[in-house]
Amino acid sequence: MAIARRWWLVMLAVLLAPMLVASSAVAEDGLALLQRIALGSRQLTYSGTFVYRSGGKVDTSRIAHSLSEGIEVERIEALDGSPREVLRAGSEVKCFFPEEKLVIIENRASQRGFPSLLPAGLGSLPEHYAIRSGGQGRVAGMRSRAVLLEPRDTLRYGHEFWMDAASGLLLKANLLGERGETLESFAFTQITIGGPLEQGALKPRFDSERVRVQQVRATEVKPEDMGWNFRTLLPGFRRVATMRRQTAPGNPESLHVVFSDGLASISVFIEPGGAGGEAEAVSNVGPVNVYRRQVGEHRLVVMGEVPALAVKRLGDGIEPRRK
């Protein structure tokens, strides 16, 4: 069960993003490339194999994606370790763990595709990243172009994206630390873009009948009804989703708030429980920094692929709204 919970959190992060203010023609060119990447990942039909690296961990997965009558359908299957599979159809996400005979299902009005970029938030990126087009090269045998994003502050990481020059599909991505080191990367090793998918490519491979189904209930919440104040908002990050989540019947309901600058995202989980004397703590799982804090009778968890300073600053400004 622990493996299922860990992988579900990873896939939740993978699947969970104005006026154009451009600092230069180079930034405008970089933004145009980012827009192609964001649209390509949603509108194109493709299938392939990609490798994900974080720290000393390496995972290989197979992906198939299609857009049919305006609805995205996507299947991701882990090829290493215990069998795992994610199937997304529109707003419904199913996560299969066959060895545990478990399927986790969640329906979400707000979602992020794979790879994840938020087209609506790209216009403000030049305020917080220096964007420039990079060189050309080859990834998975495809002619590729690079886009580089360097953060203008200490609240976000840098990024290096490599896109297919013909279609705009993202083929390789590196998350870069403050010294330019690679914190996390994913890259296709084989990819087919366009054309019909193989028969059954979007069907689950595992038996979904004789399993335990865990339905995650997620209900959208109006910001004025969430009962909490966020006193310290981070520059460039706006709230893109607010929901109440219940992982299983009988489990406590938690508030889940997502902030994004159009590229990086931060999730805030607030749930009842915990001891009043628990100490604040910052930890990390690869490039994901996690800040835990106790506020009265509630436990706060703030997490995202951003520097520890960002999750702590946001978390320290959260307080219950006075009635």
The whole-number pLDDT of residue 115 equals 53
DSSP character at residue 73 = E
For position 5, what pLDDT does the model report?
43
In the chain, % helix, strand, coil (3-state, to 5) comes to 20, 45, 35
96 is written with which tokens? 């299969």
The Cα–Cα gap between 315 and 318 comes to: 6
Give the pLDDT confidence score for residue 42 in this predicted structure. Answer: 87
Q: Which domains does the chain have, with CATH numbers?
A: 2-193 (2.50.20.10), 217-320 (3.30.200.100)
Interval 220-235 mean pLDDT: 92
> What's 170-212 look like in SS3?
EEEEEEECCCCCEEEEEEEEEEEECCCCCCCCCCCCCCCCCCE
Question: What is the reported pLDDT for 16?
Answer: 39
Question: Using alpha carbons only, what angle is made at residue 319 by residues 293 and 305, rounded to the nearest 5 degrees?
Answer: 50
Count the neighbouring beta carbons within 10 Å of the beta carbon of residue 36.
Answer: 19
The strand pairing partners of 129, in sequence order, are 151
| DSSP state, residue 55 | T
**139-170 pLDDT, tens digit each:** 999 999 999 999 999 999 999 999 999 999 99
